[in-house]
Every structure is written in C-alpha cells, then in structure tokens.
C-alpha cells in the first residue's frame, strides 16, 4: 500500500550538477529536460534574491 503520500509536489531524484557552483543536486522539484541549466538550492535562492522586483 502506498500511504506515504505527502503533498502533491513530486520530487525527481537523481544526480546532477549545479551549473553555477558545481554542487551536487540530488533532488529537483521538476523533471530536468537536459537543456536548461540546473541550480542547487543555494544558487537558486541567491538568484531569486538578486532578481530585481517587477512593478
Ligand atoms: Zn550552486
């Protein structure tokens, strides 16, 4: 039985490398298509904070 369902956000497990710092990524909230750069959690957060606000 599969009763360990937690939330509706699927995580994809694997082994990728962050395009920015080269850190290992083991989990992604989306399926990588192999074309887009992947970022680790730290870089992702940093980029989000860097992004200028839109009005
Ligand atoms: Zn990184």
Output the CA 53–ligand 1 centroid distance in Å. 22
Alpha-carbon span 1 to 33, nearest angstrom: 31
pLDDT at 22: 97
Output the CA 20–ligand 1 centroid distance in Å. 5
Q: What is the mean pLDDT of each run of 10 residues along the chain (55 residues)?
A: 65 94 94 90 89 73
CB atoms closer than 10 angstroms to residue 9: 7
pLDDT at 19: 95
The conformation of residue 2, written as its DSSP 8-state character, comes to: -
Output the CA 36–ligand 1 centroid distance in Å. 14
Nearest to 43 by CA among 14, 23, 15: 23
Q: What is the three-class DSSP state of 19?
A: coil
Residues near ion ligand 1 (CB < 5 Å) are: 18, 20-21, 23, 40, 43
């Amino acid at each position: 039985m599969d009763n360990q369902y937690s939330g509706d956000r699927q995580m994809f497990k694997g082994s990728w490398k962050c395009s920015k710092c080269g850190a290992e990524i083991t989990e992604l909230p989306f399926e990588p298509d192999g074309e887009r750069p992947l970022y680790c959690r730290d870089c992702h957060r940093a980029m989000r904070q860097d992004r200028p606000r839109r009005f």
